[in-house]
Structure 1
Amino acid sequence: MPTDTLTPTLPAVDTSLRFVRVLERLPGGLVSFEFAIGWPELAVELLLPTAAFDTFCQAHQVQRLDEA
């Protein structure tokens, strides 16, 4: 069967990898951040209170992309 040259070949994804990038810490204790699974380039933006954000990061064993 011929391969479709219009279909891009995507790199393998490791769904065990979880990434967080803090965008902003807002007044009132909210954290705006991006969360990604597998590919850090493909993320969703979320907003959580600080305590819930810390719990979220621990539960998902994230790699922080905003820290040096």
Structure 2
Amino acid sequence: MSDTVLDEWQIALKQKKTELEKCQKEHHVESCLKCEKLLNCEMRETYVKAVYDSMSKGKGGGFEF
């Protein structure tokens, strides 16, 4: 078991990832890119937001890749 302490942003991200993976299983796809609902998917949108929030710790702003 890991001794890593998760902050609120990491906990939210982990929860959204679990929800997203469940959705993928329900739709029988291994990736959102293979799903017909990709462009209008609220589940994926909330997951992506959780990823950005976990990276910025909720401080907002843009990311440059």
TM over 0.5: no
Structure with more relative contact order (C-alpha pairs < 8 Å, separation 6 or more): 2
* TM tier, smaller: under 0.3
Given the two structures, how large is their TM-score scaled by the length of structure 2?
A: 0.28
Higher Rg of the two aligned structures: 1
TM-score, normalization: structure 1?
0.27
Q: Which has the higher strand share?
A: 1
